[in-house]
A and B are shown apart, each in its own frame.
Chain A
């Protein structure tokens, strides 16, 4: 948390209403996302209990595992879930569009988007993907063909959440908290019902009041994957017992009744969250989209296109753990992307840029003096190097020699020549390069004019090429040497799911 976000929380606490933390929406929101609300059985390693899933707010699919410890019923659940998820992803594999950039090609014109209530939902998805993607459709431990495919897709979505640039999968609490500051702590924000209470209270009530009401698990059941322990002990336990008993004593009508009772009970825990999820989506959709979101979503579409092709060609499932080269590559990539996204968010959103102005990594002010036609004749060629002096009341950490960028002119570089302080104000002399056309006089508007408000930051949103890594088979001895090649084994398919 920073001073600015803490101040926003303080303001929210005092006023009883959530305060904006961003002025634009920095994530992509699909016109047709797939909402997925899983419930897991307490005490087990990610044993599915039930789920609500669907891309139409009026048509939720309720899937239930009547005997959560029965392996066959679990895989039946997985197959049912696969039917919904795979139909959904396939619906994005029709329309294509050309890709721009260096290697022109084709990609799908849009990509799917998975929405879960909270980070626990992402963890559940990751683990469900892990427990299903190594299964096989033939052999002694056969499962439905769709199950391992589901596993690979779920793993794909969960892995994408690790990239700060990706919106393929979002946790509603994370997405909302990034855009609104509540008057409570970030830990409490992880309860979707309470968070929505702050952000979107019902009429006649403050955000704080709505949030306090939403904390009662009887009014708002937990949004999962964990269930409410009281619900487990007072309701779930008996209903599952009833199902088990009915099975043992022959099934038939008794079994159907017991199963229906169980389903009804689970529905009471899931349906309210379904409503919350679609409300969350609408709230986010109501924010104007940040300028760079489109570019980041294009990258998501590329990733989706690639993965769909990989699955179509029968490619291997994602490995259990990253190898040395893969891990190093991922880290380097995530760092680059994180820097890029941070810069893009600041460039798109003055409230985000304000954070950097607080620390001195960016400053905003007005142009106090300008030499737009200044030419540097010291080198071999004469080059256009205008100079401007910016006067600001912000802190300035930049030192002479540093290169800065302005959101208004992102392709122009500004080199700090001098920083002088007087009477609490700071004057920064900058030399500009690029973004002015090819002539020795700048194109109109390409150099900031006297009196113009400007902002300069110590970071740019430019593309940095990824560093090169050796191939996996060339993993050096320092990192354990080349890893053994992956051979799908019987153990993978046989792995216990008990």
Chain B
């Protein structure tokens, strides 16, 4: 465990050291749970210590508040400005800090060496003198047109984000800008690097969230070129059950498989179904409920006291579609477990749980579409957990992948993006098949 911490510290030191001499800035690729927010906070502190005012750009109010809270905890006497939109409701974790000033006008925050806000709010700022430094969080999830609207505010920037997660999205379908180096539909980092190819790209090498059972699998499937390792070693993140099962039913076998190896694939019989596949929905809910019923207890070396998972704070169910999430939520509510988090990949981004149940995006489908194959979606769903991940899927997914026609158009001058969704799905499924449990 020491070597992981050392590795991470070395990487962070290199990054923070790189700030001083940076010409235009740097990019940091941060795999899931690699300490991105910690890096942002430390970088902001380092820059303000050196007398450089910093503007921090995050994508949602929730993210801005988290960073503000953590920065204030790190530097309690630093004057921190939290710039907000008119509709913003002040969060308790922000207003409780004495030296944090909240305002909808930048002029009110003139005395703050560091100001945090959302990209959309920053984009409305006019006539401010350029900040010497900006820190842009979730830069891979930010679309490049939004970057265009804020980049005039700063001279140099630290861009931090996770390249493996969901790409920025647009409902507009067009090829008009395909191949242009400033394609507004590409991510902020993709466009930034095309115009600044010399900008250094660093990687955070350690995931503090993912257990040793998950890091190599996720790394290979979703981060084919950089890779990363887990902070903990094999067997250090454990799940134990307070009660024993009565018989050997498939649910319990699944739970035990997940507890011992960190993964499980709960396989329903092959069928082509509607999206809110009743059996799959019931299975996801049943697995989440069983985890609670069996009194699952998680052990990790970082926590001195073993935590008992609260239904709701530590278990999550992830899906591709909102209606699937809603259906699972309804079943859990009826069963008296309203607290378990159930949400889509989009809304689970950035969040962390102990045990996660995933309804595989391709389950029950006859054909795959680009949406369901998207690597980022599967990556988010399978990287929320600290201890174990259980995937629910009907049999037939490998056959579906095999039959998938590769007839997507190819555009000139567009850098090829890895991992390919189809390949990532193959890779993950190949791994999961070792931990398959057939539903009774």
Contact = CB atoms under 8 A, between A and B. Distances in A.
A321 B176 CA distance: 8
Contacts of B184: 324, 327-328, 330-332
B195 A477 contact: yes
Contacts of B181: 480
B171 A468 contact: no
Interface stretch (B142-150, B243-251, B391-399, B404-412): B142-150
Interface residues of A, number: 31
Contacts of A334: 172, 174
Interface of B: 24, 123-124, 144-145, 147-149, 151-152, 170-172, 174, 176-177, 180-185, 188, 191-192, 195-196, 322-323, 326
Given A360-B323, A479-B148, A480-B181, A468 B124 contact: yes
A478 B172 contact: no
Contact of B326 (A322, A330, A397, A477): A397
4 tightest A-B CB contacts, nearest first:
A476-B151, A328-B145, A324-B182, A478-B151
A475 B147 CA distance: 11
A470 interface: yes
Nearest to B147: A478
Nearest to B151: A476
Interface in A311-325: 321-325
A327 to B, nearest CB: 5
Contacts of A476: 148, 151-152
Contact of A470 (B124, B152, B183): B152
A359 B323 contact: yes
B172 A338 contact: yes
Interface in A468-484: 468-470, 474-481
Interface string A294-328: 00000000000000000000000000011111011
Interface in A451-476: 467-470, 474-476
A479 B195 contact: yes
A469 B182 CA distance: 14
Nearest to B195: A480
A373 interface: no
Contacts of A322: 176-177, 180
A470 to B, nearest CB: 5
A495 interface: no
Nearest to A421: B330
B191 A478 contact: yes
Contacts of B191: 478-479
Contacts of B172: 331, 334-335, 338
Contact of A338 (B124, B145, B171, B183): B171
A70 interface: no
B180 A328 contact: no
B26 to A, nearest CB: 13
A338 B172 CA distance: 8
Given A478-B195, A479-B191, A468 B145 contact: no
* Max chain B Cβ within 10 angstroms of own Cβ: one of A335, A339, A360, A480: A480
B151 A479 contact: yes
A188 interface: no
Given A330-B184, A478-B188, 15 more contacts: A321-B180, A324-B182, A325-B148, A327-B145, A327-B177, A327-B183, A334-B172, A335-B170, A397-B326, A470-B148, A476-B152, A478-B191, A478-B192, A479-B144, A479-B151
A264 interface: no
A474 B152 CA distance: 8
A162 interface: yes
6 contacts: A324-B182, A327-B184, A467-B123, A468-B123, A479-B191, A480-B181
Contacts of B144: 328, 479
A483 to B, nearest CB: 9
A162 B176 CA distance: 9
A338 B173 CA distance: 11
Given A322-B176, A327-B184, A478-B191, A332 B124 contact: no
A339 B172 CA distance: 10
Contacts of B176: 162, 322, 327, 330
Contacts of A332: 145, 184
A10 to B, nearest CB: 15
B270 to A, nearest CB: 23
Interface in A395-426: 395, 397
B148 A335 contact: no
Interface in A438-461: none
B174 A162 contact: yes
Nearest to B148: A328
A474 B149 CA distance: 10
B148 A397 contact: no
Nearest to A480: B195
B152 A335 contact: no
* Max chain B Cβ within 10 angstroms of own Cβ: one of A162, A324, A397, A474: A324
Given A324-B182, A478-B196, A470 B177 contact: no
A236 to B, nearest CB: 29
A323 B151 CA distance: 16
A397 B323 contact: yes
A335 B181 CA distance: 21
A11 to B, nearest CB: 19
